[in-house]
A = this chain, B = another copy of it.
């Protein structure tokens, strides 16, 4: 499907994967509404997510399909899945199992804010408490 108005106003699900075969997935917590993470899905990850109701992604660095929580137990149950106007981004509202979504041990991957400064932008920590120890959770 390539018709712009069908993609934007139609009821056919036609996810627009990029040249790399991936689509962006934004993940928020169903209860708090907070942004937990941004990840990517290939067609197989999306199919498995819809079929199972639990989030699967594609890791660009590891070049592999992965189920969120596979190692950590921090599974994401997808309560609602939405798609944007041009169908090239997905929004997952999830119930996050366990204390956090980020592999660093935080609730959210977005634990630093960017602030303009004289010598260029700098980061500072915010909502950066570690809620679990990655070394324990990801032991293999």
Contacts from A to B (Cβ < 8 Å): 8-13, 24, 26, 28, 33-35, 37-38, 50-51, 80-86, 89-91, 102-104, 106, 109-116, 120-126
- Residue in chain B with minimal CB distance to A39: B89
Sample of 14 further A-B pairs with CB below 8 A, known A26-B26, A82-B113: A11-B123, A12-B122, A13-B122, A28-B35, A33-B33, A80-B113, A81-B113, A81-B115, A82-B111, A83-B114, A83-B123, A85-B104, A85-B109, A91-B110
Chain B residues whose C-beta falls within 8 Å of the C-beta of A12 in the assembled complex: 122-123
| Least CB separation from A8: chain B residue | B104
B102–A85 touching, CB < 8 Å? yes
User: A81's contact among B84, B111, B114, by CB below 8 Å, is which?
Assistant: B114
Among the interface residues A12, A114, A126, which one has the most CB atoms of the partner chain B within 10 A?
A114
Q: What is the distance, in angstroms, from A77's C-beta to the closest C-beta of chain B?
A: 14
Given A33-B33, A110-B91, also A82-B121 (CB < 8 A):
no
